Structures are given as C-alpha cells and as structure tokens.
Amino acid sequence: MIDRILKVKGLTDQELVFYAQLKGDFYRHVLTVDPESAKDELLKEKCLNSYESGIETIKSLSIVDPTRLSLIISLVVYYSDVLKDKKKAIEMAQSEFDKAIPEVDYLSDEWYREAILLLQILKDNIIMWSCELEELEELEE
C-alpha cells in the first residue's frame, strides 16, 4: 500500500520522506519483534532501502525540518538495533546533531519545539549508545 502512495505524482518532499520512513519503520519493527525475521537479510535490505530512498529526498529539506530529523532518528536506530552497529549509529547521529544545532535558532516557534524534541531524542540515543559501547569495551578487557 505504501508503495502505491509513493508512486503518486504531486507528493511534496516532506510527504515522500514521511512515507519512506513509515515503510522503513514497518520493516524495522518486524525485524526487532520477530526473532526469526532478524536473520532475514532481504528484509534488512528492504528496510535500509526504504530509509535510503528518504535520505535521497531529504537533501531538499532544511537540516532542522522535523520530518528530516525523524527519518534520521529512524535510520540511526536501525543501525543500532537491527544491524547492531552502535558505532555507526553514534557517528551518524552526532554528525546530524552537530549540523542541526546551529540552525535551531532560526526556526519558527512551531518547528522550534518539534525540532528541539527530536534533537533531544537524537542526543539521548547518542549518550545511551556511547555508554553501552563503553560497557562492552570494559567487559572485553
């Protein structure tokens, strides 16, 4: 159904990103909820492809557009929770966070609140994953 929506002409870039994220999130949730599907490489690929199609579109959106930030959060959670690559998730999240912070002051009140909440989620994930990585490194020593 989402694929049919994505083929509709006249969708804004925000709408395209939203639906690409929705599709990726569906696959990600299946991968995290069902232990058998976690081994399914094709499902992982479909999930990543969905997010990447949104990434191609977000280039036209503001760095602090809430739709863009939501997609970034979903993608970094995919790297952390599905691919178990916390290092890449942290690097990607930190990079996006660092690019967005200087732009926040120029937002309208409506976007400001939402962008700040999403950036806080991104920062919380960075902190959580960094702590988890440190704990793993300590256990390995």
CA 87 to chain centre: 15
pTM, 2 dp: 0.89
Helices (H), 1-141: 2-6, 13-33, 41-58, 66-77, 86-100, 109-140
Task: Give the pLDDT score at 45.
Answer: 95
Interacting residues of 100 by C-beta distance below 8 A, sequence separation 6+ = 63, 64, 69, 115, 119
pLDDT tens for residues 40-95?
Answer: 899 999 999 999 999 999 888 899 999 999 999 999 999 999 999 999 999 999 99
The angle subtended at Cα 48 by Cα 71 and Cα 90, nearest 5°, is 60
Domains and their CATH numbers in the chain: 2-140 (1.20.190.20)
| CA proximity to 43, closest of 71, 6, 83 | 83
Whether the predicted pLDDT of 5 surpasses 70: no
pLDDT tens for residues 100-128?
Answer: 999 998 888 888 999 999 999 999 999 99
Whether the predicted pLDDT of 1 surpasses 60: no
